[in-house]
Amino acid sequence: MESARDKCTGGIVDAEQLWIIDTVDPLGYECRGCGAPVTPCSYRPENKVRPYFSAKDGHNAGCDVEGEVELVKRARKQRISTREGFPGSFPNRLVLRDTRPAGSSGTPTDATSTGRYRAGSNGSGEAQRDRHWAAQTIRPICRTFVNYPYDRDLPLAVPGIAAHTYQRAFRPLKSDQILQYPEPRLFYAPISWKAPIEVDDQFEIQLSYGEWTERKLTRPYRVRMDWKDWSAAKRNYVFREIETARLEYMAAKKRGDNEKGWLFFIGRQDEDDPTLFHVDDHRLVCCVVAEMIYPPRPAKRQEERHAAVRASTEFADRNG
Ligand SMILES: [Zn+2]
């Protein structure tokens, strides 16, 4: 699984965060759905696949994390929210904390989660679901956006972004034009697999959207990290994120899958050069290799609904 609860802080960490932790505690994590112990895997520098957590002894009854793979398969074809709500758990906010809370070695404090896992007190042994949780990087939020294309009305709170659903908080860059984006959003566009440029303590990633002349991308959007003051660990985190995504993309291409590398970021557009975005924090950039699904626009769905209402009214008129 891609995320787990840190037993010390009570916060939910994404497996990629293991890249940046000095000494990973193999016993320090539990399933965010049921509290079963989980083991951090594949986080060492020599590992080529992304880090993940493994529930080697299985999950407790009623754990929804266990069923997530199947849920996502269904969710990529249709809406899975019902009148009862969304059937899975998801990050509903981004909370950037600078460090672990002081004294975090004591009892777990749970500043970042609502409805922490509790073993069922009714004797059923069923785990109560941790339905909403706080993401510590944009990565789990971006994954949720990709995985649940028909449920993008799910609530989301991101500091500095004046939008309250997944649908509105995310904004793709324009594929064939350089635009001004006055409102901060969680931007995304396909990454160009040209090697990132590193000069003078700046790291720059080129995207595959921008201005085209004679079918050539002449002014691509770019994402720049001015990382003079970044630690080696933070730089390494971004390096590995991009490099791992590149390997995933190549594997997908080999399989013949229709996947792209999508770079997601929260950044500010340069005042003088609108092709350029500045990202100040390693937690605000990630690359997800996936097929992006865009469901029919809500306006169209609404039209269909109106058409259905019209049809039923006409039916009533004719028959009433
Ligand atoms: Zn579980």
pLDDT tens track for 188-206: 999 999 999 998 899 999 9
pLDDT beyond 50 at 108: no
Q: Are 149 and 142 in contact (CB under 8 A)?
A: no
Using alpha carbons only, what angle is made at residue 185 by residues 181 and 189, rounded to the nearest 5 degrees?
A: 80
Q: What is the per-residue pLDDT across 63-90, written as a single tens digit (0 to 9) for each?
A: 989 889 999 999 999 999 999 999 999 9
Mean pLDDT, the chain, whole residue set: 87
Residue 196 lies in a domain: yes
Q: How far apart are CA 304 and CA 243, in angstroms?
A: 44
Asked if residues 51 and 18 have their Cβ atoms less than 8 Å apart, the reply is yes
Q: Does residue 298 lie in a domain region?
A: no
pLDDT on residue 66: 86
Q: In this model, does residue 48 exceed pLDDT 90?
A: no
Cα 39 to ligand 1 centre (Å):
12
| 316 part of a folded domain | no
Q: Which of 91, 183, 207, 197 is nearest to 141 (CA)?
A: 91
Task: Verify that 126 and 237 share a domain, yes or no.
Answer: no
Nearest CA to 142 out of 309, 317, 300, 290 is that of 290
The better pLDDT of the pair 310, 133 is held by: 133
The answer to whether residue 25 scores a pLDDT higher than 60 is yes
What single letter denotes the amino acid at residue 52?
A: Y
Instruction: Write down the pLDDT at residue 310.
Output: 63
**Tokens matching residue 194:** 């040209």
Would you give the DSSP letter of residue 151? G
Residue-level pLDDT at 45:
87
Distance 139 CA to ligand 1 centre (A): 20
Work out the pLDDT band at 111, boundaries 50, 70, 90: very low
DSSP state of 124: S
- Does residue 101 carry a pLDDT above 60? no
pLDDT at position 316 is: 54
CA of 20 to the centre of ligand 1 (A): 24
246-283 burial code (b ≥16 CB/10 A, e <16) = bebbeebeeeeeebbbbbbbbbebeeeeebbbebeebb
Among the candidates 121, 151, 181, a domain finishes at 151
Q: Within a domain: residue 319? A: no
pLDDT at 311 over 70: no
Q: In the structure, what pLDDT confidence band is assigned to residue 115 with cuts at 50, 70 and 90?
A: very low
How close is the Cα of 54 to the center of ligand 1, in Å? 10
Whether the pLDDT of residue 118 is over 50: the answer is no
Residue 11 Cα to ligand 1 midpoint, Å, equals 15
Claim to verify: residue 201 and residue 282 sit in the same structural domain: yes
Residue 199 within a domain: yes
How far apart (Å, rounded) are the C-alpha atoms in residues 6 and 21?
A: 12
Q: Do residues 86 and 190 share a domain?
A: no
Domain count along the chain:
2
- Tokens for 140? 């789990």
Same domain, 40 and 108: yes
Residue identified by tokens 């997908």 is 252
232-274 pLDDT, tens digit per residue, is 999 999 999 999 999 999 999 999 999 999 999 999 999 999 9
Instruction: Give the pLDDT band of residue 99 (cuts 50, 70, 90).
Output: low
Residues 188, 78, single domain; the answer is no
Q: Is the pLDDT of residue 285 over 80?
A: yes
Is residue 35 domain-shared with residue 143, that is, in the same domain? yes
Are 146 and 11 members of one domain? Answer: yes
Query: Phi and psi at residue 301, in whole multiples of 5°?
Result: -60, -40
Task: Give, as one character, the DSSP assignment of residue 132.
Answer: E
Query: So what's the pLDDT on residue 51?
Result: 96
Q: How far is the CA of 145 from the centre of ligand 1 (A)?
A: 22
- Nearest to residue 261, comparing CAs of 273, 277, 270, 250? 250
Query: Are the CB atoms for 147 and 75 separated by under 8 Å?
Result: yes
